[in-house]
Structure 1
Amino acid sequence: MRSPKLVYGTRGKPPAERLGIAVIYLILAIGVGIMLFPFLWMVATSFKLPQDVYNLRLIPKTFTFDNYVSIFQKAPFGHWIKNTLILSLIATASVVVFDTAAGYVLAKFSFAGKSLIFLLIISTLMVPTEMLIIPWYLIANDLGWSDTYWGVLFPGIISAFGIFLMRQFMDSIPSDLLDAARIDGLNEWRILLHIAIPLVKPAIVTLTILSFIGNWNQFIWPLIVLQTEAKFTLPVGIVYFSSELKDTSNWILIMAGTTISIAPLIILFPVFQKQIIRGIALSGMK
């Protein structure tokens, strides 16, 4: 008996159904084009000459890299990039370590009030960040953390979303496997490091990438807590740099600075997109 053939795409479908699929793809393509045009125009503008700043052509008449050289000469972009990279790496490492440990405890330990604690952690996700800025600022000011890197870091050393994500994945690990390790004499730290963490690598990779992207793009809180130009992060530095420009043609320099700020994320996502999608999909299934 011959096995049935698999039908891909629109092959073998009725004409009306093929037409409907084509219309859907066309609508999606238009939506993608509308979404990508401002981004592509920003990147293209960063390579234009000043007189072409308001030209909506995606391909500049004349390519120039002078804009990228100029922004490093007019502002300490290199220092801002270093600040952002260091703060993002520290905050990401903190989130991964603390959230992984917290997720393991909430998933595999039984103690009074565990469900209530988890509920309170999840409820913080419904609080807008803007409502937390004033309490954060008062805490930073009272502790002398204003205009310091620690003042930038302390609100993000633990993530409620990360705890939720890791708890969901840790909950899928068979408890019998962990009990067998305890019988063999492993303490909880070794169980976490050698058994639990290797089984939840997709979640850890996802949390790492999302945390890094969030910290790299963080703007509102660093803008409020930092006052010294040398301590600015890249998003804050770009806004400060744009406020200092008087000539409208210098929008080209702003486009170049913004393109630099998103370049690491453009590189990061394609490399790890499979892990990101897999981690988010599995967390949703759980």
Structure 2
Amino acid sequence: MSSQGARIEQAGYQKRYLHKRGRGKVIKNSIVLFLLISLSILFMFPFIWMLMTSLKSNKEMILPIFFPTEIHLENYVKAMTSMPFGRYTINTLIITSLNMLGTVLSSSLVAYSFARLRWKGRDIWFVVMLATMMLPGQVTQIPLFVLYKKLNWLNTYLPLIAGSFFGGGAFNIFLLRQFFKTLPTELAEAARIDGCSEIRIFSNIMMPLCKPAIATIAIFTFMGSWNDFFGPLIYLTDPKLYTIALGLRAFKGYSGVQWNLLMAASIVTALPTLVIFFSFQNYFVKGITLTGIKG
């Protein structure tokens, strides 16, 4: 009887312990969920403000109200017709597409060399390349402007595109190099035994395995190039060559800023980046995760 009573008492203790532990876990998860929802609302507030502002009338812009009394969808039509939006979109797509192509090709070649090929001074040059990430873009802007001016590249798309075909950026090279180092070396060794050249190993074996990292770089490049304002502002003077980011200046005049039209155009401009990100977010997360597995 004593042993049976002890087992009953132990079972009751375990039941109370599990109940208490489960209740604590529920409370903990509820707190975490509350914090995540609060942060999400905080981060989404600027976009909500943009949307509400884009639906207001000109009179409501000067009133201290958050939600519009009437929805004015015609603001989007006015925003698209107030500037040559189609031309600016095509110009931006040309620059963005070429930057994505150049960045993926050049950065993957350089990263493969740093990760898989053995040559004298490889590690030193890799450190030097990483050190360039510490330089702010403003430091190199004046030398680049002088160089492009001597090459007669001003008021063309070449200054906005050329850099992507010569390395593609230290961060992209680092990201791809880390991904290349996670791939099994046996694949390349087996291909060399079969007589494959290094360029064929790179293009037919390594590149198809790097789709997550390539997608990550492509997304970064697309978002950076699509939203770039400083570069086109410096190098482009012909309005026919303007990008969407420069075109948004049309809503700022001597009489003030047309905030409702500006926010409407900004929302339309941001839609492609949102579509690209959410369409390839699985590749994006996978690429970021896998590049940190092996140093």
Residue 186 of structure 2 corresponds to which residue in structure 1? 176
- Aligned pair partner of 2:235 in 213, 225, 230: 225
The answer on 1:57 being equivalent to 2:82 is: no
Deviation at 1:181, TM superposition (A): 0.7
Residue 281 of structure 2 corresponds to which residue in structure 1? 273
What fraction of aligned residue pairs are identical, expressed as a percent? 32
The answer on 1:23 being equivalent to 2:17 is: no
In 1, Cα distance between equivalents of 2:231 and 2:289: 30
- Deviation by residue 1:93-141 (Cα, 9 ceiling, x = unmatched): 1000111111111111101011111111111111111222112211111
Deviation at 1:156, TM superposition (A): 3.6
Deviation at 1:213, TM superposition (A): 1.0
Deviation at 1:21, TM superposition (A): 4.0
- Aligned pair partner of 1:165 in 175, 194, 201: 175
In 2, Cα distance between equivalents of 1:129 and 1:43: 32
The answer on 1:120 being equivalent to 2:128 is: yes
Instruction: Write the letter of the residue equivalent to 2:38.
Output: I
The answer on 1:213 being equivalent to 2:211 is: no
Contact 2:56 2:71 in 1 (8 A): yes
Question: Which structure has the bigger radius of gyration?
Answer: 2
- Deviation by residue 1:137-188 (Cα, 9 ceiling, x = unmatched): 1111111111111122223431211111111111122222212111212112
In 2, Cα distance between equivalents of 1:65 and 1:109: 57
Residue 149 of structure 2 corresponds to which residue in structure 1? 141
2:59 counterpart SS class: helix
Deviation at 1:83, TM superposition (A): 0.8
In 2, Cα distance between equivalents of 1:199 and 1:104: 13
Deviation at 1:23, TM superposition (A): 3.3
Deviation at 1:273, TM superposition (A): 0.9
Contact 2:91 2:241 in 1 (8 A): yes
In 1, Cα distance between equivalents of 2:274 and 2:108: 26
- Aligned pair partner of 1:242 in 243, 251, 272: 251
Deviation at 1:189, TM superposition (A): 1.8
In 1, Cα distance between equivalents of 2:179 and 2:39: 34
Contact 1:140 1:146 in 2 (8 A): yes
1:123 counterpart SS class: helix
- Aligned pair partner of 2:50 in 39, 42, 65: 42
1:171 counterpart SS class: helix
TM-score by length of 1: 0.88
Q: Which moved more, 1:154-163 or 1:212-221?
A: 154-163
Deviation at 1:55, TM superposition (A): 5.4
Deviation at 1:279, TM superposition (A): 0.5
Deviation at 1:78, TM superposition (A): 1.5
The answer on 1:198 being equivalent to 2:198 is: no
1:70 counterpart SS class: helix
In 1, Cα distance between equivalents of 2:134 and 2:26: 42
In 2, Cα distance between equivalents of 1:188 and 1:47: 57
Instruction: Write the letter of the residue equivalent to 1:242.
Output: F
Instruction: Write the letter of the residue equivalent to 1:77.
Output: F
Q: Which moved more, 1:156-165 or 1:96-105?
A: 156-165
Instruction: Write the letter of the residue equivalent to 2:278.
Output: P
TM-score by length of 2: 0.85
- Deviation by residue 1:221-271 (Cα, 9 ceiling, x = unmatched): 221111121211111221x213336255x2111001111110101111111
